[in-house]
Amino acid sequence: MIYGGVLLARKQLQNLTEPMYYILMNLLEPMHGYAIMQNIDKQTNGRVKVGPGTLYTLISRFEKEDIVIKISSEEGKKTYRLTNKGRTILKEEFIRLNNLVKDGQRMMEGGEYEK
């Protein structure tokens, strides 16, 4: 599916992993790497751990695919933000995950599928 001229996450990146999803969510606002790692730990109550190796490998991949962009590099801290393409991918993944939860909730509560 194409949304706003952008190939969606399912096709381009398949489904986002949890670290990918949380990194992109944190880059809705400009942020440096260490803050991203701290935020993810706090947001998930320690359930999702993103170390520097994983973070910078993913950010490098996201930069190559025009999903994030480095906006500054001051005092050894590189600050990144989402591109429009990155926002689209994040929004589509958010919708996909919500649909999974809705389907699961309906099934767990004994609901039926629409025919």
Encode pLDDT of 34-89 as tens digits: 999 999 999 999 999 999 999 999 999 999 999 999 999 988 899 999 999 999 99
Measured between alpha carbons, how far is 40 from 65 in angstroms, rounded to an integer? 22
Residue 112 within any structural domain of the chain = no
In a domain, 80, yes or no: yes
Does residue 41 or residue 6 have the better pLDDT?
A: 41
Q: What is the mean pLDDT of residues 15-31?
A: 96
96 closest CA partner among 40, 13, 5, 36: 13
Task: Please tell me the total number of residues recorded for the chain in this structure.
Answer: 115
Q: Which amino acid makes up residue 86? A: G
- Cα 14 to Cα 86: distance, rounded to the nearest angstrom: 14
Q: What's the total number of domains in the chain?
A: 1
Residue 11's pLDDT is what? 55
For residue 58, give both structure tokens: 């993913």
**CATH for 89:** 1.10.10.10
What range does the domain containing 96 cover? 2-107
Given a cut of 70, whether residue 12 has pLDDT beyond it is no
